[in-house]
Structure 1
Amino acid sequence: MLIGAIVIFLLSPKYSGEQELSNLKDKVEVYYDSYGIPHIYAQEEEDAYRSLGYVHAQDRLWQMELLRRIAEGKLSQMFGEELVDTDKFFLSLGIDDASQKTVDQLDFNAPMVKLAQAYLDGVNQFLKEGPTPVEFYLTGIEKRPFTIKDIHNTMGYMAFSFAMAHKTDPLLTNIKNKLGQEYLRDLEIDVDSSTTFIKNFKPSSKDRLNNQMATRVHEVLNKLPLPLFEGSNSWVIGTQKTKNGKVILANDPHIGFAQPSVWYEAHLSTPNYEKYGYHMAGIPFPLLGHDRKLAYGITMFENDDIDFYYEEENPSDPTTYKTPNGWEKYEEVTKTIPIKNGEDISFSYKKTAHGPILNGIIEEVNGEQPIAMSWIYTKMENKVMEALYGITHAQNLFEFQEALPKIHAPGLNLMYGDAAGNIAWFASAQLYKMPDGTHTKFILDGSSGKDEPLEYLDFSENPMAINPPWNYVYSANNQPDSIAGMLYPGYYLPENRAKRIVKLLEPKNDWTKDDVEAMLLDGVSDVNAEIVTDLAKLMDVSQLDKSEIMALDKISAWKGENEIDSIAPTIYHRWIYALLKNTFEDELGPEMFQQLLSTHLHKRMIAPMAKKENSIWFDDIHTTDTVENKTNRVNHAFKMALKSLEADFGPNKKKWTWGKVHTLEHEHPIGKMKALRSFFNVGPFPIGATREVINNMAFRYNETGKYPVTSGPSTRRVIDFSDVENSTSILPTGQSGNPFSKHYKDQAKMFNKGEFRKMMMNKEEIIRTKKSLLTIKPKQ
C-alpha cells in the first residue's frame, strides 16, 4: 500500500506548490478549479503560453506523443509491427513532408511562432524534468523534445479527420465497375434537392463586417489508436430569439470517444489577452474558445477535398506516367519505419503531379492500375496555424473573418457569436470547381487532363451566413445551400440532426442557457420515427404471430425517443440492419457491404430507401425463380430482427432495453490489454440517445446486434453573453490524461447524466473557490 501511494504521488501531476521555468519573464499564477482546469494569470502572453505548455504536458504528454507520431509514421515504434500498414498509409499521405516544408518557410520572429515556441518550451521542460507518464514505461518509448514540426503534424492529422473519401470513392468505383451504373441510383451519392440545407446569407457590403484498396484503408484506419473527427453540431442564436436579448452559442464537436478525451481546457489571462479555450494535445492555440467579447466553435464541413486519379503507366518505361504534356517521370519517395522489438522497415512509393501512388504502399494491392491521391491539404501553402492565431486574437467579427481564408484544410464550419449581437457561420476551406460531368466520388482519369480543377474559388464565394434575418445560424454537417452556382460536393451527413435543430430553433423566441443545454441533450429522431411509419405500411400482419404483432404495435407507436430503458430503438436498429443486409449484401458481398457500413452513404440511404417503392437492390440475386420486392425485404427483415432479439434476450420484450445493447466505453490504447482495461479505460456505461440525433451517440451496425458507441460529443459548450461568466461545459471523462490524477474521469458520470459545469472566468471567484495554486517562477 505504501509503495503504491508513493508511486501515485511521484507520477501524479503537480497542481500546487512552486515550479521554475526557464525563459520566464515574470511570475505566473496557475489556479486549478474543482475539475483540474488551469486558470493561468501572467503579465506577458509568452509567459502564459510557456506555462500552458508545462501544465498541458503534465496532464497530456502521452496523448501529445501519440498524436505527433501518426503523421511521421512512428506508431509501430510504440505498438509493434501490427501498425506498419497504418504507418505506411499516413507517411504516404505526405503530412510529414508538408509539415517540414511549412516549417522551412516560417518567420521565427512572427508573433504566432514566438507563442508556439514558448508553448513548446514549457512542454519540453516538463518532458525533461517532470515525471515520466506510466505509458512510456509500458511501451518502452524514450522521451524526445517536441518541435514546431510536431505541431503541424498534429494539425495534419486533424485535417485528414474523417477519412470519408478514402472509404467512399474506391467503394463507389468498385460498385460501378462490378454491378453497373444503374446500381448507383439509390445510393444517395448526389445532393438531395429536398434535404434540409444550411442557408447562406451575405449582407451587402455596407452591412458586412479499387476494392482491395478500399478494404485495406478500412483496416488500417480501424487500427489507429486515436479517434478520428466525425461530425458535430453547433448553433448560434441571435438577440431577437433569446430571452435576455444576448447571443447564445452552442457547440458539441463529434469525435471518436477515447481516453484521454480530446480536449484540454485552459483559461489564459494577461493584461492584453484572455481566452478560455479547448486545446488539442500539442497544439498551442485553442480550436474552440471564448472570452467576454466573442465566442467560436467548429463542426466538420465534410467537403470533398480529396480526389483519386487512375494514372497510365508507360508500358515500355515503368518509371514514367502519361500526362497531357507527354510522359513524365515518377518521383520516388523512400521512408523508414522503426519497429518496436524489430528491424526497421524501409518502403518506397511513387508520386505523380496529383500526389502519391497508393498502390504498393500496402502489399496486397501491388500491381493494380496506379491510383494517385490528390489532397488539397498537402498541395497548398499551409497557413492553418496563422489562422488559429488570428482567430484566437480576434477582437470582433471583422478580425475573426479576416483570419479564415488561411484555412485551406481541413474543411471547417466556423461558428461565431459576440457580445455586440453578431452571429455568423463560415464554411472555411479552399474550394475549387471541377469540369461539368466530373464526378469526384469516383476515381478520375489522371492522364487526359479532363478531370482537373478549373479554378480555385475565392473565400468570398464560400458558403456563409452573417447576421441572417432568421436570427440563427447552425451546422450539423449537412449540405450547405448553393454557392458560386453549385451545390458543393462532399460527404455530408443525412438531414436528421439538421431537421431536428431547425424544428426546435425556428418557432421559439425566448431561448435561455438552460433551454440550449437541454437541446444539446435532445435524443429524439423524428426521421427514424418517419422511417418506421413508412416501413410499417408494408407489413403483412396476417403472416405475424401474436408476439410479432405486439412488437410491431410497440414500434409503430414510437415517437423517435431513445432512452436507456426504451424498447423501440432496440427493435428499430435490429430491423434496419437486417433490411440493409438483406437488400445490399447479396450484390455487394460481405466485404463490400461492411465497407458500405463504414461510410456516411448508408446513413444517407436509409430514409430515402424507406420511401422508395422500387429499387434494383430489392431483388435477391441468389434466387433465380422469383424477383423479390420491397415488401418481401421489409417483412423478412422484421422477422429476422425479432428472432435475433429473442435469441439474445429471451421472449420477454421488457428485457430488450436500449441500454443493454447501446453502451459507452472510453478506451485507452493500452486498455485494449485485458489486464489493464479497468485501470486505463473509463466505462462501459449504458447510454441513451442514438446516432444522428442532436445528442449524437454514434455506433456502427454489425452482426452481433450490440452497439458500442464509437463517437459523440467531445464536449458540450454553451456560451451565453447575457451572463458569460456562468457559461457552461462538460468533458466526457476528465481533464487529465494521467490515470493517477483525480481528474482522469471525474466528469464521466456527469457527462452520462447530461450535466454541465461552469467555465469560470471571474478571477475573484476563481481564487475564492480554487482547489490548488501552482506558482510558476523564472528559473534562477
Structure 2
Amino acid sequence: MPPNTTATSGDKPGKSGRKKGRKARLIVLVLVLAIIGGIAYGAYWSISTVRASFPQTKGSITLEGLSGPVDVQRDGYGIPQIYADSDEDLFMAQGYVQAQDRFYEMDVRRHMTSGRLSEMFGKSQVDNDEFLRTLGWDRVAQQEYDTKLSPATKKHLQAYAKGVNAYLKGKDGADISLEYAALGFTNDYKPAQWTPVDSVSWLKAMAWDLRGNMQDEIDRALMTSRLGPQQIAELYPQYPYDRNQAIVQEGQYDELTKSFKQSGGDGESGSGDSSANGGSGGGTSGGGSGTAGGTGSALQSQLSGLYDVLDDLPTAVGVNGNGIGSNSWVVAGKYTITGKPLLANDPHLSASLPSVWYQMGLHCRTVSAKCRYDVSGYTFAGMPGVIIGHNQTISWGMTNSGVDVTDLYLEKLSGDDGYQYDGKVKPFTTREETIKVAGGAAKKIVVRQTEDGMPLLSDRADELVKVGKKATVDTAAPDRGDGYAVALKWTALEPGTSMDAVFAMGKAKDWDDFRAAAKLFDVPSQNLVYADTANHIGYQLPGKIPTRAKRVDGSIPAPGWDSKYKWTGYIGFDELPYEYDPARGYIVTANQAVVDKDKYPYTLTTDWGYGTRSQRITDLIKLKIKGGGKISTDDMRQMQLDDDSQIARLLVTKLLDINLDDPDVREAQKLLQGWDYRQDADSAAAAYFNAVWRNILKLAFGNKLPKELRVEGQCLWVDPVDSTGPVDDTDKVRECGQREADQAQPDGGDRWFEVVRNLMDKPDSAWWTTPESGTRPGADHNRDELFARAMIDARWELTAKLGKDIDTWSWGRLHRLFLKNQTLGTSGPGFLQYILNRGPWKLSGGEAAVNATGWNAAGGYGVVWVPSMRMVVNLDDLDKSKWINLSGASGHAFSAHYTDQTGKWANGELLDWSFSKKAVDAATSDTLVLKP
C-alpha cells in the first residue's frame, strides 16, 4: 500500500482480487503482531524494540566522509538546526538527520517515483508500477542528473546521499522503523543504498500532483457525450476578472503584446495564441478550438477508461491532481507594524502522516565561498536544500500556478509498432521494463512512446487497449489502422534544472538573485512570492510553459495525427509575468488567474482557480490597512485562519426566503438566521449550510452529468461520524449520500461557486430541474423548488448523521481530520491502524475558504486536503517569524514528535521559529555532534 492509495477508495469492478490480497496480507501481519506483541502488542515486540529505531539526538556519532565536526541542535519539537563549515558537510548531515527521522517515508517515495512499489508491497501494486514506469520519472531524473544539473548541485546531491547511506550502514529494517519490522514478516525486502537520482525523482512526483488541468481536459471531453457546447460553457464559466483580482496587476506587457500581434500571434518561435481566452476559466466546450472532439466513441471510451487508471495511483503531495490550492501573500513594510515586509504561506496538500514537510535549518558557521548557506524552512525528506523558507536576507513562498503544462493526444495506431502523423506512419520508440514483485514472479511490460517522447498512457490498462482497437470514429480521424490510444505531452518528461533552482534560491541575496534562481525552476510551475530585509516585495511566475498553435488552447484532448496541434515552443522567462514593489503594497497568490487576459498575449491556462480565496485575502488586507492601520505577524496568522464561506454569502438570503411546510426543516432553516458565515468547528449553522450546498449540487447537476465522470473520490469509504479513534474498513460506511448508482456529482470547489452564481439570475434554467423518481416523489421545476428540496434533504441527512436535536449539531462533528500512515495505515484491521494512525480532529474551515480544510462534496464532509503547514516570516526580525507543521518532525509512530504539532496546528497556533545562533541556542533541547 503506497501513499494514500486506499484511504479514500471504494470497491471498483475488476479489483476485488487485489483488495482481497491486501486484506489477507494485513491479516497475516496482525496475527504475527498479536503473537509477538507485549501486553498491548505482545511480549516479543516490546516498546523497547520499537524505540531502538528512534534517532540518537545527544552525544556524538562518527561519520566517515565528513571533513569537520557538525552540530545538530534540536528544539523541544525535535526540529533540527544543523551547523557545519562546508557545503558538503552541511548536506551530508542533512541526509543523515532526515534519514534518522523519516527514512521509511523516503524509501516509499523513491519506490513510488521509480515505479517499484511492488518490491515493497507485493502484487497489489503492479498496476501502479506499470503506469509509473510508463511515465518514467526516474529515467528523466537520471537524464537531468547526467546532462542538466550543475557540478555544484551534483556535489550537494552526492553529499546528501552519502549522509543517508551513513545512517543505513549496519542497520536492518527493524533498526530503521516499525514499518520495516512489519514488512519483514511478509517478504524479504531490504532497504537499498540511497542515490542522488532518488532525490531528483521526487520533484517529478511533486510535479505530477501539481500538473494543472489534465483532469478538466478529460472531463470536458467526456461531457460532450451528453452535454452541448453551451451547457459545458456554463459548467466552466469565464474567470471573473472584474470581481476577483489577478495576481499581477501592475506589470506592463504592452510591448510584448505588440510584438506578439506583429508576429501574427500564430504560436511560432515561442509565441502564444492571442485569439485564445488567456486563461479565462473555460475556453472551449467541445472541439471548437481544434481538438479530437470529433472522434466520437474513440476518445470517449479511452478517456473513460483512463479515469480508473489515474484514480488508483498513489499521491505524492496532492490529491491526484485535483483540488490542490495554496495561499501565499506578502505585505510591504509601509503597511506593517515593523516597517519591514511580512510574508505568509500555507500550501494546501493531501493530509498525510508524517506530513510531507520537514522543518529544518541549514547553517554555515561562517558564510563564505566554501560554505554558502544560512537558510531555514520547509524541506522534503529525501531531498537536500530548503524548498520554502528564508535565509539571512530574503524569504519566499509558493503556491501552485495551475498553468497548463500537460496535453492529452488521441493517437491513431497502425498495427502494434506505429502511429499516424501527417499522413505517414511513424514507428514507436519502445523499451522493456521488468517489475520485480515481493513474494511473486516478476512481470515485464513494453512502454511505447511517440517520436517526441509522449508515452501511451492507455497501454497500461487492458480494457483501454481492447476498447481502442474496437472504437469507431467519424471522418475527423484518419480512416485506416488498428484503433486508438491516449498519449501524454508534459513538460516534466523533459530533463530540467529545478534541482539547481532549489540551491540557488537558498543562497540568493536579493531580487536579482532570486529571479535568476526562479529562471531555473522549470517544473512544477509555481507562483513565487518574495520579500527581503531591504524592504522589497515581489512576485515571479517561473516554469517551462508551452505555447500552442493558433486556436488551440489545450482545454481538451487534441488529435495526435495532425502536426498543427503540436506545441510550438515555450514562453521565454523574460516574458513571464512578474511584479516588483507594486504601488498597492501587497501581493496575493491563491491559485487565481496570474494576469488579466486582456493584458497578456499568451494563453497560460483555461482553468484557473476562480479567486475566491485570493479575493478574500485581498479584502482582509484592505480592511486592515484602511484608515492607516498596520498589519502584524499575528494579523497574518489570523488571516490564515479565516473560515468565511463565500458561497454562503451568496445563497443564505435566498434560502431564508423560501417557505417550508415541515416544522423540523424550518427549525434547521432558522439556524441560518443571523449566521455570520463563519465555518467554526462548533457551528451548527455551518454544518447545515454545507449539507444544503452539497444537496444543491447533487440535485442540480448530479443526474445531468455523464456517468463516466464518476471517480473514486466521489463515493468514499469514510470513518463514521463520532468515531473517537482509528477504525478499520469494517467500521467505515459507504458515503455516497442519496446519489443514484450511475450519477456523477460535483466536488463543490470554487468553480461550482461560480457556476451557481451565474445561474442565480436564471431561476428557470434547466439545471434547476429534477425528475420525479420512485424514491423521490415530485419533480423540481425551478431554482426555488430545488433549493427547498435541498434544505429538506439536508435536514434529514444530518438527522441521520448527527441526531434529530439540532442543538447537538456542529460542523466539526462532520468535518474531521484523520491522519493516516501513508502505507500500512491506510487499510486493514483496526489493530494495525491504531499503532500507526492518529485522530480525529474536529476542524474549522472549509472548501475554498482561506482556512482551506477541503472536503469533496461528492463523497461526504470529511477533510481531504489541508493547509499542510503555515508560516509567517518577519523580515524585520527573523527570530520573530512563526511556523507550524501538520504533524511533527518524526516519522516514528511512538516518537514524542510524531504528531506533537498537530493539536496546535488544528487550533491555529504557530510556533516560534528560531534562526539566529543565539535564538537557536536558547531553544535547543538536544545536541548531537557528528564527527569525522
Residue 879 of structure 2: aligned partner? 725
Counterpart of 2:463, as a letter, is E
Residue 7 of structure 1: aligned partner? 49
How has the CA–CA distance of structure 1 residues 215 and 535 changed in structure 2, closer, same or farther, with 3 Å as cutoff? farther
Counterpart of 2:788, as a letter, is N
Counterpart of 1:86, as a letter, is N
Q: Return the alpha-carbon distance in structure 2 between the equivalents of residues 244 and 734 of structure 1.
A: 30
Counterpart of 1:133, as a letter, is S
Residue 537 of structure 2: aligned partner? 423
Counterpart of 1:372, as a letter, is A
Displacement of 1:427 in angstroms is 1.5
Do structure 1's residue 313 and structure 2's residue 428 form an aligned pair? no
Do structure 1's residue 493 and structure 2's residue 534 form an aligned pair? no
Displacement of 1:492 in angstroms is 2.5
Residue 893 of structure 2: aligned partner? 739
Counterpart of 2:55, as a letter, is P
Displacement of 1:603 in angstroms is 5.7
Q: Tell me, yes or no, if the aligned pair for 1:534 and 1:610 is still in contact at 8 Å.
A: no
Q: Tell me, yes or no, if the aligned pair for 1:666 and 1:684 is still in contact at 8 Å.
A: yes
Residue 841 of structure 2: aligned partner? 685
Do structure 1's residue 549 and structure 2's residue 643 form an aligned pair? no
Counterpart of 1:777, as a letter, is K
Return the match for 1:269 from 341, 363, 374: 363
Alignment of 1:251-650 (within 5 A): 251-270=345-364, 271-272=366-367, 273-314=373-414, 317-324=415-422, 326-353=424-451, 355-367=454-466, 368=468, 369-379=484-494, 381-482=495-596, 484-486=600-602, 488-509=604-625, 510-537=630-657, 539=658, 541=659, 543-588=660-705, 590=707, 592-593=709-710, 594=714, 597=746, 601-602=751-752, 604-620=754-770, 628-650=781-803
Q: Tell me, yes or no, if the aligned pair for 1:301 and 1:413 is still in contact at 8 Å.
A: yes
Q: Tell me, yes or no, if the aligned pair for 1:534 and 1:611 is still in contact at 8 Å.
A: no
Do structure 1's residue 120 and structure 2's residue 161 form an aligned pair? yes
Unaligned runs of 5+ in 2: 1-37, 254-299, 368-372, 469-483, 715-743
Across the two proteins, how many residue pairs are aligned to each other?
765
Q: Tell me, yes or no, if the aligned pair for 2:421 and 2:563 is still in contact at 8 Å.
A: yes
Task: Give CA-to-partner distance per residue, 1:338-377, whole Å, 9 cap, x none.
Answer: 2232212222232224511122211221132211111011
TM-score by length of 1: 0.93
Q: Return the alpha-carbon distance in structure 2 between the equivalents of residues 114 and 724 of structure 1.
A: 29
Q: Tell me, yes or no, if the aligned pair for 2:420 and 2:426 is still in contact at 8 Å.
A: yes
Q: Tell me, yes or no, if the aligned pair for 1:232 and 1:299 is still in contact at 8 Å.
A: yes
Q: Return the alpha-carbon distance in structure 2 between the equivalents of residues 174 and 204 of structure 1.
A: 38
Q: Tell me, yes or no, if the aligned pair for 1:579 and 1:637 is still in contact at 8 Å.
A: yes
Q: Return the alpha-carbon distance in structure 1 between the equivalents of residues 344 and 304 of structure 2.
A: 36
Unaligned runs of 5+ in 1: none
Q: Return the alpha-carbon distance in structure 2 between the equivalents of residues 222 and 532 of structure 1.
A: 37
Residue 242 of structure 1: aligned partner? 336
Counterpart of 2:758, as a letter, is P
Q: Tell me, yes or no, if the aligned pair for 1:175 and 1:183 is still in contact at 8 Å.
A: no
Query: In terms of mean alpha carbon deviation, does 610-619 or 254-263 score higher?
Result: 610-619
Q: Return the alpha-carbon distance in structure 2 between the equivalents of residues 606 and 284 of structure 1.
A: 45
| 3-state DSSP of counterpart to 1:700 | coil
| 3-state DSSP of counterpart to 2:873 | strand
Q: Return the alpha-carbon distance in structure 2 between the equivalents of residues 106 and 455 of structure 1.
A: 19
**Aligned sequence identity (%):** 26
Q: Return the alpha-carbon distance in structure 2 between the equivalents of residues 721 and 625 of structure 1.
A: 62
Query: In terms of mean alpha carbon deviation, does 689-698 or 69-78 score higher?
Result: 69-78
Displacement of 1:648 in angstroms is 2.4
Counterpart of 1:500, as a letter, is R
Displacement of 1:535 in angstroms is 4.7
Q: Tell me, yes or no, if the aligned pair for 1:732 and 1:747 is still in contact at 8 Å.
A: yes
Q: Return the alpha-carbon distance in structure 2 between the equivalents of residues 535 and 462 of structure 1.
A: 44
Q: Return the alpha-carbon distance in structure 2 between the equivalents of residues 218 and 425 of structure 1.
A: 38
Alignment of 1:179-190 (within 5 A): 179-188=227-236, 190=238
Displacement of 1:145 in angstroms is 1.0
Counterpart of 2:876, as a letter, is S
Q: Return the alpha-carbon distance in structure 2 between the equivalents of residues 77 and 602 of structure 1.
A: 41
Q: Tell me, yes or no, if the aligned pair for 1:248 and 1:718 is still in contact at 8 Å.
A: yes
Q: Return the alpha-carbon distance in structure 2 between the equivalents of residues 621 and 87 of structure 1.
A: 44
How has the CA–CA distance of structure 1 residues 30 and 337 changed in structure 2, closer, same or farther, with 3 Å as cutoff? same
Return the match for 2:325 from 220, 223, 231: 231
Q: Tell me, yes or no, if the aligned pair for 2:350 and 2:866 is still in contact at 8 Å.
A: yes
Counterpart of 2:131, as a letter, is F
Q: Tell me, yes or no, if the aligned pair for 1:11 and 1:740 is still in contact at 8 Å.
A: no
| 3-state DSSP of counterpart to 1:360 | helix
Query: In terms of mean alpha carbon deviation, does 218-227 or 343-352 score higher?
Result: 218-227
Residue 759 of structure 1: aligned partner? 913
Residue 666 of structure 1: aligned partner? 819
Counterpart of 2:768, as a letter, is F
Residue 292 of structure 2: aligned partner? none
Residue 832 of structure 2: aligned partner? 676
Displacement of 1:444 in angstroms is 0.8
Query: In terms of mean alpha carbon deviation, does 218-227 or 735-744 score higher?
Result: 218-227
Task: Give CA-to-partner distance per residue, 1:733-779, whole Å, 9 cap, x none.
Answer: 1111112322111111111111111111232332244211101100x
How has the CA–CA distance of structure 1 residues 620 and 486 changed in structure 2, closer, same or farther, with 3 Å as cutoff? farther
Counterpart of 1:87, as a letter, is D
Alignment of 1:160-175 (within 5 A): 160-162=208-210, 165-175=213-223
- RMSD between aligned alpha carbons? 2.5
Alignment of 1:123-134 (within 5 A): 123-130=164-171, 131-134=175-178
Residue 19 of structure 1: aligned partner? 61
Q: Return the alpha-carbon distance in structure 1 between the equivalents of residues 772 and 562 of structure 2.
A: 40
Residue 138 of structure 1: aligned partner? 182
Q: Return the alpha-carbon distance in structure 1 between the equivalents of residues 315 and 618 of structure 2.
A: 36
Q: Return the alpha-carbon distance in structure 1 between the equivalents of residues 579 and 746 of structure 2.
A: 33
How has the CA–CA distance of structure 1 residues 755 and 626 changed in structure 2, closer, same or farther, with 3 Å as cutoff? closer
Q: Return the alpha-carbon distance in structure 1 between the equivalents of residues 754 and 642 of structure 2.
A: 21
Task: Give CA-to-partner distance per residue, 1:411-445, whole Å, 9 cap, x none.
Answer: 10111100001111112122233234324221112
Counterpart of 2:763, as a letter, is E
How has the CA–CA distance of structure 1 residues 759 and 743 changed in structure 2, closer, same or farther, with 3 Å as cutoff? same
Query: In terms of mean alpha carbon deviation, does 765-774 or 499-508 score higher?
Result: 765-774
Residue 11 of structure 2: aligned partner? none
How has the CA–CA distance of structure 1 residues 625 and 115 changed in structure 2, closer, same or farther, with 3 Å as cutoff? closer
Q: Tell me, yes or no, if the aligned pair for 2:251 and 2:578 is still in contact at 8 Å.
A: no
Displacement of 1:234 in angstroms is 0.4
Displacement of 1:106 in angstroms is 5.0
Query: In terms of mean alpha carbon deviation, does 173-182 or 302-311 score higher?
Result: 173-182
Return the match for 1:95 from 137, 142, 150: 137
Q: Return the alpha-carbon distance in structure 2 between the equivalents of residues 469 and 296 of structure 1.
A: 20
Displacement of 1:502 in angstroms is 0.7
Q: Return the alpha-carbon distance in structure 1 between the equivalents of residues 432 and 746 of structure 2.
A: 34
Q: Tell me, yes or no, if the aligned pair for 1:496 and 1:527 is still in contact at 8 Å.
A: no
| 3-state DSSP of counterpart to 1:684 | strand
Displacement of 1:225 in angstroms is 6.1
Displacement of 1:700 in angstroms is 1.3
Displacement of 1:215 in angstroms is 5.6
